[in-house]
Amino acid sequence: MPLPPFSAVLCCRHGGNVVCAWAVPDDCDGLIVERARCPNADSGCDALPVVGVASGGADGKSLEDSLRRFGSCVEVAFGKLLSGANMMETLERDGLYMALSTATAYSIEPARAFCKVLSTRLGLSAALRDSIELAVHEAVVNGVMHGNLEVSSDERETFSRFQNYCDQIELNLADPELRARRIEVFGTWDEAAIMVSVVDSGAGYDLKALAHNNNPNRKSGRGLTLIGGLSQEVTIGDGGRQLTMRFDR
């Protein structure tokens, strides 16, 4: 089966040092992956990729195709391979994993592609799929805006300040360091529940201060409340950079 142009892999045949597939993009120094349960380990190995790599930017279709075929999509952006520490554990559990730049996550709808593939794999009801998609979308938006781009939601509190909020987003998106930051989305599941995590590369936040900022009249910053209403459990870790949601099946 020919490899689509957005994908790349360098896969070691499990149990040995034979490299069974080569398709590394020009702007990627190299990616060597050997999974404990390598799908290419049998005698009829047809050298399919075990990690999908998006070179030159990912759009919604290539993201969905990569997740569907390989269970992963890792972007090569701004001279960096954006795979993170959560990739291999997720793939070993036959989960779904993607790592995108701030710029790409801002410009497409990664939650839609992620949840479409998740729903197909697990045969989710439309209601559960929609709940997961909305929660993941909100978590990604929070991670991109407030984590990676470091834009405060306080600027949306009044109409007069909203333009400042929009201007700050555009300004920070033009910053090479901020637009290249990684955001990870990954999910695993069992018979009882689905766990989806979103990890940004920002500075994190004070969890105690957030817990005390519960003004019901706030016009922004209520994403966690929405996510909590859509999921059965929300866990925040890594100083506010990782948000994990549990959805009962």
Residue 25 lies in a domain: yes
Asked if residue 7 has pLDDT above 50, the reply is: no
Q: For residue 114, what are the domain limits?
A: 9-248
Length of the chain: 249
Whole-angstrom distance, CA of residue 73 vs CA of residue 98: 5
Residue 156, CA distances (Å) to 82, 161, 215 in order: 31, 6, 15
- Nearest partner of 81 among 108, 95, 64, 99, judged by Cα: 99
Residue 108 lies in a domain: yes
Whole-angstrom distance, CA of residue 85 vs CA of residue 32: 14
Q: Tell me: the pLDDT tens digits for 31-46?
A: 556 666 665 566 666 5
pLDDT for res 6: 39
Whole-angstrom distance, CA of residue 183 vs CA of residue 66: 17
Residue 90 lies in a domain: yes
Q: How many CB atoms lie within 10 A of CB 72?
A: 26
Q: Tell me: the pLDDT tens digits for 11-23?
A: 555 555 555 555 5
**Average per-residue pLDDT for the chain:** 80
Q: Are 102 and 108 in contact (CB under 8 A)?
A: no
Split into its structural domains, the chain has a count of: 1
Whole-angstrom distance, CA of residue 98 vs CA of residue 34: 18
Residue 139 lies in a domain: yes
Whole-angstrom distance, CA of residue 187 vs CA of residue 197: 6
Residue 132 lies in a domain: yes
Residue 4 lies in a domain: no
Q: Are 199 and 183 in contact (CB under 8 A)?
A: yes
Residue 224 lies in a domain: yes
Asked if residue 107 has pLDDT above 90, the reply is: yes
Q: Tell me: the pLDDT tens digits for 135-164?
A: 999 999 999 999 999 998 765 656 667 788
Rg (alpha carbons) of the chain, rounded to whole number:
19
Residue 2 lies in a domain: no
Residue 59, domain CATH = 3.30.565.10
